[in-house]
Amino acid sequence: MAKAGAGFRHETERLILRDWREEDWAEFWRVTNTPAVMRWLGGVLNGAGMEGARQRLASYRHDHGHTFWALERREDGAILGFCGLKRCNQRGGPIGMMEVGWRLREDAWGQGYAREAASAALDLAFERFAADEVIALTVQGNTSSWGLMIRLGMHRREDLDFDNDEFDPESGTIIVYSITEAQWERARG
């Protein structure tokens, strides 16, 4: 298990999922706090929104030993965004369930980085953080996000959908996918 202070770092073929460093943040916001990236996340954040998000990610790390980790490209050290695990804390949602999430800079989309990072996060959820099932949340309009969920072998869980307008005020609904450990073992081959 990752211990507080031990320093989390996990490498994949092209990526590193790791604890955040102070110097990551300005670059992370520069490349991800854009209209395209934030399209289905309630829009571009102001200063208070950025600080709140940063504090939440730190609190997940502190409370659970995992968070939406900084995502670094091994080749050049570029910060591509984040990917990782938290416990669902969305108003109205299945609070406490293990949740995988991702947010990548737009110039890194479409190269399989999100799938590579999310696959690592699912491995970690089951093998290191003792999850039985992992959910992912999005909105109907966010085709690339639920497309990735399906690509990972996740299944639609309409029974877990909930009302919440933080991401998409127009629909007001957050849709849920999930995968169990047995399903992930089959999907990853």
Residues at the site binding ligand COA, with contacts judged by CB under 6 A: 37, 40-41, 102-104, 109-115, 138, 142-145, 147-148, 151
We find the least distance from the C-beta atom of residue 83 to ligand COA, in angstroms, to be 8
DSSP string, 87-155: E---TTS-TTSEEEEEEE-GGGTTSSHHHHHHHHHHHHHHHTS--SEEEEEE-TT-HHHHHHHHHTT-E
d(Cα 122, Cα 14) in Å, to the nearest integer?
A: 17
Compute the least distance from the CB of residue 23 to ligand COA, in Å. 22
SS3 label, residue 51 = helix
* Element at 60 (helix H, strand E): helix 47-64
Q: Which residue is nearest to ligand COA (CB)?
A: 147
Q: Which is nearer to ligand COA, 4 or 188 (CB)?
A: 188
Choice between 6 and 34, CB closer to ligand COA? 34
Shortest approach of ligand COA to residue 6 CB, angstroms?
27
CB of 39 to ligand COA, least distance (A): 7
